[in-house]
Amino acid sequence: MPNDNPYQILIVDDELSMREVLEMLLRKNGYRATCADSGRAAIDQMKKKRFDLLLLDIRLGDMDGIEVLKSAKDRDADVVVIMISAHATAETAVDAMNAGAYDYVPKPFDTDELLLTIEKALDLKNLDKENHSLDDALKETLHFGRIVGNSPRMQYIYGLIRQVSETDTSVLVTGESGTGKELIARAIHEESQRRDEPFVAINCGGIPETLMESELFGHKKGSFTGADKDKKGLFQAAHKGSIFLDEIGELPIPVQVKLLRAIQERTFKPVGSNEDISVDIRIISATNKNLEEEVIGGRFREDLFYRLNVIEIKIPPLRERKADLRLLAQYFLDEYSRKMKKEMTKISSYAIDLLTKYDFPDNVRELENLIERSVALSSTNILLPDSLAMSIHKRRWVEGIKDKRYDLDEVVNGVSLDIILVDIERAYLERALEESKGNKQKAAELLDINIRSLRYRLEKLEVGSDS
């Protein structure tokens, strides 16, 4: 970080050693640091000078840190405040964040994590200046219904949606399960001139092969056992609008032949009928399969593939657009807080950090499910790390750790160093507690750390808890 860093930071702590450590750390990283040994001294400093950020201890000798926080916010609503305390609880953290704190950091803290928190807080401060608020930034991304994201890849997709919406060209949306392919299809329809006409969606993998043709094209009464009346197919129901064929790669070959004719000629015959029905529809399809490989393997018709894949929109998995995670999490928090009539307004940056360390194999759908459960289970109005219903994922990360052997050659395929380090730290903590028969002082000595550090690590990793 350059030495001409313009940010002014006020350190407020009644412990001299802590002030000295923080001042040295900040100055070493290019920040301009000022110290105050009490709440009153901090308020006096703020009268003399404007600060960008406060590192504020919750417990001070002369007054409560929350009082100093409120005074700082009353004086300058834009000042960023990070609370630091060895006595932080969920209740004090919520009180602080309700009073306007950006986040809280428990003592003893990791210096790299603290610096990262400071950097993120100041980045958000700059973002607020540019966009006025996180809400404005969020609204700016919601151009297409529930699609959320401001990353370059998503902005590129928004541009494609605008372009293809102006035509009736067939579009193939590809991406892993849970990435939001139907949202893209709906956005294309809603941006097009067909927006006031039907949008009909069908999951091609969820209908038995024997019923697929009837579902798509309809049937006449008596055409097969159980056909006791005429039925209009989904193609006819989508007339003048758009039809979305999800999981198109699951279509059996015989149905692919009839679908190809319907796409080419925009006509079809219902099952049991000799009469052609003409339709005016837009075809949008989606798949999580590699259709080119399906064509090579003889499982998908090449001519149908080219008819469907005039324009392809590839949706990146969530792990490849982590820059959108905060916006997505905030969007789902707002949505489910409203649905459950809870007043949850903010996600702790530490909770966001926890989310970013997870790869979300089921993508945005999994994140949405996680936030929904977390809102339902949370007893506070701020989503803290403790509120996240992540236990199932934590178990997935560390399952079998005692028998695991790490292979350095795996690096060529990509690994998660954060997860590996969590695995190792948890394993050593558990082994030390086992060896010391639960005596934390003895366990700390075995690991050559102090008892406060041990307690912090145990709480952070939930070692010894029931969760």
Instruction: For residue range 365-399, list pLDDT tens digits in order.
Output: 989 988 998 888 887 778 877 667 554 344 344 44
β-strands 277-278, 267-268 pairing: antiparallel
Q: What is the pLDDT of residue 121?
A: 82
Instruction: For residue range 131-188, list pLDDT tens digits in order.
Output: 444 454 445 444 456 788 888 889 899 989 999 999 999 999 999 999 999 999 999 9
Q: What is the pLDDT of residue 128?
A: 54
Kindly report the pTM of this predicted structure: 0.62
The dihedrals phi and psi of 271, each to the nearest 5 degrees, come to: -60, 130
Instruction: Give the pLDDT band (50/70/90) at residue 208.
Output: confident
Higher pLDDT residue, 283 or 138? 283
Q: What is the pLDDT of residue 409?
A: 61
Ranges of CATH 1.10.10.60 domains, the chain = 401-461
- Choose among 274, 275, 271: nearest CA to 223: 271
Instruction: For residue range 284-293, list pLDDT tens digits in order.
Output: 999 999 999 9
Cβ–Cβ < 8 Å for 32, 9: yes
Percent of the chain with pLDDT over 70: 85
SS3 content of the chain, % helix, strand, coil (to 5): 50, 15, 35
Tokens of residue 434, six digits: 């086992």
Q: What is the mean pLDDT of residues 439-459?
A: 84
Helices (H), 76-208: 90-98, 111-131, 134-141, 152-165, 181-191
β-strands 311-314, 171-174 pairing: parallel
DSSP 380: S
Question: How far does Cα 203 stand from its chain's mean position?
Answer: 25
- Please give the CATH number for the structural domain made up of 401-461: 1.10.10.60
pLDDT averaged over every residue in the chain? 83
For residue 272, give every residue at least 6 positions away whose Cβ sits within 8 Å of its Cβ, in sequence order, or none.
219, 220, 221, 222, 223, 224, 227
Instruction: Give the pLDDT band (50/70/90) at residue 248.
Output: very high
Q: What is the mean pLDDT of residues 232-249?
A: 94
Cβ–Cβ < 8 Å for 296, 334: no
β-strands 231-232, 218-219 pairing: antiparallel
How far apart are alpha carbons 17 and 104 in whole angstroms? 20
Alpha carbon distances (Å) from 139 to 146, 147, 179, 369: 11, 11, 20, 22
Cβ–Cβ < 8 Å for 11, 23: yes
Q: What is the mean pLDDT of residues 81-89?
A: 77
Q: What is the pLDDT of residue 131?
A: 43
Rg (CA), the chain: 29
How far apart are alpha carbons 118 and 120 in whole angstroms? 5
Cβ–Cβ < 8 Å for 190, 303: no
Higher pLDDT residue, 440 or 184? 184
∠ CA 138-322-329, rounded to 5°: 45
Instruction: For residue range 324-359, list pLDDT tens digits in order.
Output: 898 899 999 999 999 999 888 888 777 787 788 778
- Please give the CATH number for the structural domain made up of 8-131: 3.40.50.2300
How far apart are alpha carbons 243 and 231 in whole angstroms? 17
Lowest mean pLDDT among 210-219, 252-261, 397-406: 397-406
Cβ–Cβ < 8 Å for 342, 381: yes
Cβ–Cβ < 8 Å for 172, 285: yes
Cβ–Cβ < 8 Å for 242, 194: yes
Q: What is the pLDDT of residue 406?
A: 55
Ranges of CATH 1.10.8.60 domains, the chain = 319-389
Domain 152-314 has CATH 3.40.50.300: yes
Tokens of residue 27, six digits: 């100055």
- What count of residues does the chain have? 467
- Choose among 174, 211, 193: nearest CA to 282: 193
Higher pLDDT residue, 268 or 1? 268
Tokens of residue 172, six digits: 């193939």
H-helix or E-strand spanning residue 103: strand 103-106
How far apart are alpha carbons 445 and 202 in whole angstroms? 62
Cβ–Cβ < 8 Å for 68, 56: yes
Q: What is the pLDDT of residue 407?
A: 56
Cβ–Cβ < 8 Å for 259, 305: no
Burial class (CB in 10 A: 0-12, 13-18, 19+), 12: buried
- What is the second-level CATH architecture of the domain 319-389? Orthogonal Bundle (1.10)
Q: What is the pLDDT of residue 402?
A: 44
